[in-house]
Amino acid sequence: MGVFDSGVGGLTVLHECLVTMPHEDFVYLGDHARLPYGPRPLEEVRRFAREIGAYLQGQGVKLVVNACNTATSAALPQLQAELDVPVVGVITPEAHAAVQATRNRRIGLLATEGTVAAGRYAELVHALDAGVELVAVACPRLVPLIESDDPFGAETTEAVREYAARLKDAEVDTVILGCTHYPLIKPIFQRVFGRDVELVFSADETARKVAETLARKGYENDVDREGSYRFLTTGDPEAFREMGARFLQLPVAEVEHVELAELGVTA
């Protein structure tokens, strides 16, 4: 299976997939040469996602996981229409889990600028329950802080408090962590929001969706085998390896470099 993200954040999704489906093979591609996706125009992110999806299909994967919230917001329907293999995104499972979890029908969303601008969470949440109030807050400072050498520092806590203030004022009881980086600092979110607020993140929900899709289509590997996983990056392999272990919570050995030209990039 192919899994991709703008960087290492999607490794939090890959971790759950590896735990849920240890018998499957995975190839993960991080598009470090072009991160972050969050501040970029959605049309540009859509092009990146289509290039990567086509590349992974060319690698012979049987399913593609779009493990980037911004890229899922920008390009999931296009990927599903264009690729010959199933494509699973990270937004639908989260929206469903949040609607199931909320008690007062007030849901908060913390995400990148691109994800908030796309409005896909609002569409999906309201399709499930038109009476839910969704309050979305863009968090441009968080990804750089989480990828820094001190992700649990005071500056990160200050940023989370700043972004959480509007959601607290709206009295949400459920918050979607709408970026694959955010679970790494989940203790900070839980501390800021308190135990009465449910935090929803896509990794386990997405892994469940992937497993269900494989089973429905009869694509599963023999459960008695041990799967393998490979790592690819368009950026610096050593930098990926060092930071990747933090996000994957498993050893990251060899990381292969992929030139943007190999993705069919023309400009």
- For the annotated catalytic residues, the residue numbers are 68, 179
Tell me the C-alpha distance between 49 and 55, whole Å.
10
Tokens of 176: 């979607």
Tokens of 44: 């540009």
Contact between 74 and 46 (Cβ < 8 Å):
yes
Alpha-helical segments (H) within the chain:
11-20, 42-58, 69-82, 91-101, 113-118, 120-128, 142-146, 154-169, 186-193, 202-217, 237-248
Cβ contacts of residue 125 below 8 Å, gap of 6+?
Answer: 95, 98, 99, 107, 132, 134
CA angle 226–214–8, rounded 5-degree value: 65
SS3 6: coil
Q: What is the DSSP string of 32-63?
A: GGG---TTS-HHHHHHHHHHHHHHHHHTT-S-
SS3 261: helix
Tell me the C-alpha distance between 214 and 98, whole Å.
24
